[in-house]
Structure 1
Amino acid sequence: MGDTAHTRIGWLDSLRGVAILLVVLLHAGEALRVAVGPTAGVDEVNLFLEPFRMPVLMFLSGILLPQSVAKPGGQYFAGKVSMVAWPYLLWSVIILAASGDIRPVSVLQIFYLSPTYLWYLWFILVFYALAYPLRRVPPLAVAAVGLGVSLLLPDGSRPETMAFLSAFFFFGAWCAQHPGRVERAILHPWVLVVATGSAVAVGLLNVFDHEVLYRAEYVWGVVGGLAVVCWVFPRLGTNRATSALEFVGRYSIVFYVAHLGPIMITLALADALGIAGAWFMLPALLLAGVGVPLGLAWVYSIREHASVNLLFELPALKRRPREPARRTRRART
């Protein structure tokens, strides 16, 4: 899906970056809606995109699965504990403490219910745990089972959501194993037309209060959305905008765990000043929700501050390399 290795990797990071920024937009819009009421246009945009955000993130995580499960078991699980389980546990505790709900029962729920907005990481951990023993099973078959199981579970339940999203995780793994087949399929103009129409239909159904979110009956529209973005993003090329999105995508864990606190603090300060309903509040919330994680991600990327690194990984289990640009600057000095 591209002419160079950088392009092939870069567009995945760019797409992940967009998906994470849309999560920030969702939470900024929801916080503002709870505080002052509906915001014209923002709620509709969030509703239209709602069926696609998390499936896209699951799909992108699944794309990396084949190269992960090729590692020895010890290395595989150490990496997942370091880079996913550790930040999930740490930030779950931080969020519970910040919300004043650090009771033993709440802490215990981190392990089996995910009582905060970090449920995506909890799902990913479950999928990774299943993926290694199932590594010799065709991922498309696992995806089909996940989708089928979701049909049998209560609508709107956490198990149904998990089963539905597992289908996109393992579908991403299958696509990574068959990139040529996927590329040939989405290159057909009629496929893109049908995919675009399907995605728009599901998005509009969600806007108009039809129950489509994480429902297997509407998987066709979500897959259509995936086909569209998988055609668009490899063709964006490399420029300042895509480079910025790639950075967000590479450090998506930072943006995901650290965006809501700054949003809520900014909104609380605005409410105390009586300006929560001002026209500039949504941009201000987005600036806080993106700006604070961006600063943390930059500090994390240069690998020079152990205390910041510890917020997002457990270095004793897995060490990540410094950013290439940083190494280049050092070589010149």
Structure 2
Amino acid sequence: MSEEPRISTTPEARIGWLDSLRGVAILLVIVLHAGEALRLVVGPVPGVDQVNLFLEPFRMPVLMFLSGILLPRSVAKPGREYVAGKVSMVAWPYLLWSLILLLAGGDVSLAGLAQIVYLSPTYLWYLWFILIFYAVAYPLRRVPPLLISGAALLVSLVLPDGGRPEIMAFLAAFFFFGAWCARHARQVTRIIERPWVLVMAGASAVTVGVLNLTGRDVLYHGEFAWGVVGALGVVCWLFPRLPGGRVSAALEFVGRYSIVFYVVHLGPIMIMLALVDAGRFAGAWFVLPLLLGVGVGVPLGLARVYATRKHASVNLLFELPALKERSRMRSSRRHRSHVA
């Protein structure tokens, strides 16, 4: 991961902190879905519900920001390679797993299948958004990302509350904000290392989290973006300074293979919940740890197999290797011909 842009340039900053942060964000998504699934069966889950509500305004914007950080490196590639990479690594798993989820839910109507393209009818809407942002980003690669981010945030302020367009515009603002931060890493580092900035960032993040916890609707609303920016400042200061070790290595692994954890986790959670509910154990203390165990454990097993790249059937669940490799070969041949 040494090619990744780094927000922090301090000596103690670890190269893999972006993966660690992404890993934490994905694990928090799993905690959210496990808690929500259990709440549907047994009612409120004290403690877990409050934690999920406090963190709710930050999870998806952080993931979008991290994806945006990698955008400058992506748009520097030739157009054919750029498109092939996004189709292979984003569009393919989105389409495949959307189809799997609809089939598992019994919705095999033409209308349901068509929604995969224009609406994203499952919890994979994050990948759908990312695809749209990547599609927009390449033609606009010469436009300053901060300008696009600001325009998207302004658009989110005037769109109807709670609608898919408002959510998309709000998250697009953080996607392109991440791209701007990657291009101005040293400047961003100098800003967030100032103690007063860090204190204000933490206070703003806590304020927005508490507002959401107490019932104020702050989620994906542009007027509360300052709290999300504050949270980003805190984590971008904190994570590069976390010590290495087994925990960090585990989080980095989750972050590197976040696509596996994201698309796979909910199925095992719902299956396990159905089993314990059928056995009338849904209210037992061990159910939530059990749901988290399968929600993390099943994708972890698949990710370990996928990481070896030795099993074509598993690889095909998460990427189209042939498409990506073909594009790279074409780009390599074109480069050699130019050199010659």
Indicate whether the TM-score tops 0.5. Answer: yes
TM interval, shorter chain, is over 0.9
- Greater alpha carbon shift after TM alignment, 98-107 vs 258-267: 98-107
Q: Distance in 2 between matches of 1:236 and 1:65?
A: 25
Partner of 1:34: 40
Partner of 1:261: 267
Alignment of 1:51-130 (within 5 A): 51-130=57-136
Q: Distance in 1 between matches of 2:42 and 2:220?
A: 28
8 Å CA contact 2:261–2:296 kept in 1: the answer is yes
Q: Distance in 2 between matches of 1:207 and 1:145?
A: 29
Q: Which structure 1 residue ranges, 5 or more long, are not aligned?
A: 321-333
Q: Which structure 2 residue ranges, 5 or more long, are not aligned?
A: 1-7, 327-340
1:65-89 Cα offsets, whole Å, 9 max, x none, are 0000000000000000000000000
Q: Distance in 1 between matches of 2:22 and 2:140?
A: 25
Q: Distance in 2 between matches of 1:132 and 1:262?
A: 36
8 Å CA contact 2:9–2:189 kept in 1: the answer is no
User: Following TM superposition, by how much is the alpha carbon of 1:237 offset from its aligned partner in structure 2, in angstroms?
Assistant: 2.5
Aligned length: 319
TM normalised by structure 1 equals: 0.94
Flag the 1:5–1:254 CA change in 2: closer, same or farther, 3 A. farther
CA RMSD of the aligned region, Å? Answer: 1.3
SS at match of 2:14: helix
1:109-163 Cα offsets, whole Å, 9 max, x none, are 0000000000000000000000000000000000000000001100000000000
SS at match of 2:168: helix
Q: Distance in 1 between matches of 2:9 and 2:34?
A: 34
- Greater alpha carbon shift after TM alignment, 159-168 vs 97-106: 97-106
Partner of 1:328: none
User: Following TM superposition, by how much is the alpha carbon of 1:316 offset from its aligned partner in structure 2, in angstroms?
Assistant: 1.6
- Amino acid in the other structure paired with 2:14: T
Alignment of 1:165-180 (within 5 A): 165-180=171-186
Alignment of 1:135-284 (within 5 A): 135-284=141-290
User: Following TM superposition, by how much is the alpha carbon of 1:7 offset from its aligned partner in structure 2, in angstroms?
Assistant: 1.9
Partner of 2:5: none
Q: Distance in 2 between matches of 1:159 and 1:94?
A: 25
Q: Distance in 1 between matches of 2:35 and 2:58?
A: 17
1:72-109 Cα offsets, whole Å, 9 max, x none, are 00000000000000000000000001111121111100
User: Following TM superposition, by how much is the alpha carbon of 1:317 offset from its aligned partner in structure 2, in angstroms?
Assistant: 1.0
Q: Distance in 2 between matches of 1:183 and 1:150?
A: 28
Q: Distance in 2 between matches of 1:270 and 1:319?
A: 44
SS at match of 1:313: coil
Q: Distance in 1 between matches of 2:276 and 2:9?
A: 45
- Amino acid in the other structure paired with 1:190: W
Q: Distance in 1 between matches of 2:193 and 2:12?
A: 20
- Amino acid in the other structure paired with 1:32: L
8 Å CA contact 2:13–2:241 kept in 1: the answer is no
Q: Distance in 2 between matches of 1:263 and 1:2?
A: 39
- Amino acid in the other structure paired with 1:276: A
SS at match of 2:322: coil
Does residue 314 of structure 2 align to residue 308 of structure 1? Answer: yes
8 Å CA contact 2:12–2:241 kept in 1: the answer is no
- Amino acid in the other structure paired with 2:55: L
- Amino acid in the other structure paired with 1:254: V
- Amino acid in the other structure paired with 2:139: P
TM normalised by structure 2 equals: 0.92
SS at match of 1:164: helix
Partner of 1:12: 18
1:271-302 Cα offsets, whole Å, 9 max, x none, are 11110110011100000000000000000000
Q: Distance in 1 between matches of 2:76 and 2:124?
A: 27
Q: Distance in 2 between matches of 1:104 and 1:135?
A: 36
